[in-house]
Amino acid sequence: MLKAKKSLGQNWLVNEKIVGEIVAAAKIKRGEMVLEAGPGGGVLTAALLATGAKVIAIEKDNRLQEILQKKFKTEIESGQLKLIHGDVLNFDPILINQSYKIVANLPYYLTGGFIRQFLTARAKPSAMTLMLQKEVAERIVALPAGRQAKNSKESVLSISVKAYGKPRLVKTVKRGNFRPVPKVDSGVVTIEQISANNFKHCDEKKFFQILKSGFGSKRKKLKNNLDLTGQMLATYGDRRAEDLQLTDWLKLCANR
């Protein structure tokens, strides 16, 4: 195995059972298009191809690019796999030109930018299945392990994701299932039913301006963070940003 590059945040998943669970969670059907970010040595890529899906795999590390080209020579020649050398953050999904899903074991440093890029893209994926740092995975679903739903706290990240789709924590993955072994555990998250439907009656840009202002000082009451009047002041003025659900933020946006 190649020596991982710390600069690229490389931690390769080596447990094939977990790879199978990721693919199962993604609900891939034969003939579907899948975008894989950072295929690494191709363990997940092989499992995706085995479903009969068409795969676009984007790899930044030129050393791995050469390995993948040899490993999947047949699939590349048949057109089932398209291998792209580059940075996935520079990839415009409009080029896929059809419905697609994302499945990826993401470097931890890439998570925020990656999720934001594809949820806000003109050509959004229909669903994402992502391996993330456990803490981030739990923040996205706003339901840390062992907590009751009524006690979970929302964040800018969780509300931003829920504005576009329905996130679910599939499972947590111990750090020992990766090489090299990272310092933290991971979590598999799915985001399904991705769309911009929530912004039919609420301007998307205005929504995120209100959301970020509301969380500006998250322990303060919203009347101190937002310019609220009338019914919105009466309903939300004495509440804190972390206690509001997506529906509340959409109401605040629609009434501004």
Residue 226 domain boundaries: 199-254
Instruction: Examine the domain organization and report whether 84 and 136 are in the same domain.
Output: yes
Q: Residue 62, SS3?
A: helix
Of the residues 195, 215, 244, the one at which a domain ends: 195
Structural domain includes residue 172:
yes
Structural domain includes residue 1:
no
Report the pLDDT value the prediction gives residue 147, as an integer from 0 to 100.
52
Q: Write out pLDDT tens, residues 221-254.
A: 999 999 989 999 999 999 999 999 999 999 999 9
d(CA 39, CA 42): 5
Q: DSSP character for 148?
A: -
Residues paired with 173 in a beta bridge: 186
Looking up residue 46, the CATH number of its domain turns out to be: 3.40.50.150
Structural domain includes residue 38:
yes
d(CA 216, CA 152): 19
Instruction: Examine the domain organization and report whether 216 and 162 are in the same domain.
Output: no
Report the pLDDT value the prediction gives residue 143, as an integer from 0 to 100.
60
Mean pLDDT, range 29-48, rounded to an integer? 95
Annotated binding site: 11, 13, 38, 59, 87, 105
Instruction: Examine the domain organization and report whether 105 and 186 are in the same domain.
Output: yes
Instruction: Examine the domain organization and report whether 216 and 116 are in the same domain.
Output: no
Instruction: Examine the domain organization and report whether 209 and 146 are in the same domain.
Output: no
Annotated binding site for S-adenosyl-L-methionine: 11, 13, 38, 59, 87, 105
Q: Residue 15, SS3?
A: coil
Instruction: Examine the domain organization and report whether 61 and 122 are in the same domain.
Output: yes
- Give residue 145's pLDDT band: very low, low, confident or very high (50, 70, 90): very low
Mean pLDDT, range 35-50, rounded to an integer? 95
In total, the chain counts a number of residues equal to 256
Instruction: Examine the domain organization and report whether 138 and 26 are in the same domain.
Output: yes
**What pTM does this model have?**
0.90
Structural domain includes residue 150:
yes
Average pLDDT, the chain: 91
